[in-house]
Amino acid sequence: MTIDCADAYPLAEFWVKVLDGKLGEGDEPGDPEVLVESAGAGLLFIVVPEGKSVKNRIHLDLKPLDRTRDEEVERLLALGATLVEDHRAPDGSGWATLADPEGNEFCVERSAAERAATGG
């Protein structure tokens, strides 16, 4: 998956932490393209001259493996994400929409364990 951005390396560093991944071999600050490799996805960040101006037409949905949805949201906020919309319901269902440091939206859903515990 390729994501346009203003500064590839710092954005890739953010997503390395989000996905528990690693940077592509030889990628360095200032590079116009930086790869993030993880078990779940490969993301290529490419510098483009124009800024983001509208909602993403495609986005990632993250489902934590070893944390609850709410723990994952807090972890990502601490890494530099921002909360865009909170769709979490009092009964534990729902999701949170966040944005990375360049404004690209992504969602955090409930973990498989949370879904199993509530039957959905």
- In angstroms, rounded to a whole number, what is the distance separating the alpha carbons of residues 12 and 27? 10
Per-residue pLDDT, 40: 67
Q: Are 36 and 45 in contact (CB under 8 A)?
A: yes
pLDDT tens digits along 33-63: 999 999 867 899 999 998 888 878 788 999 9
Q: Is the pTM of this model over 0.75?
A: yes
CATH number at residue 10: 3.30.720
pLDDT band at 119, cuts 50/70/90?
confident
Q: Do 104 and 45 share a structural domain?
A: no
Q: Do 65 and 19 share a structural domain?
A: no
Q: Do 56 and 39 share a structural domain?
A: no
- In angstroms, rounded to a whole number, what is the distance separating the alpha carbons of residues 76 and 31? 25
Q: Do 56 and 45 share a structural domain?
A: no
Q: Which of 11, 32, 49 is the last residue of a domain?
A: 49
Per-residue pLDDT, 51: 85
Q: Do 3 and 30 share a structural domain?
A: yes
Residue 77 has pLDDT above 80, yes or no: yes
Q: Do 30 and 15 share a structural domain?
A: yes
**Domains of the chain: total:** 2
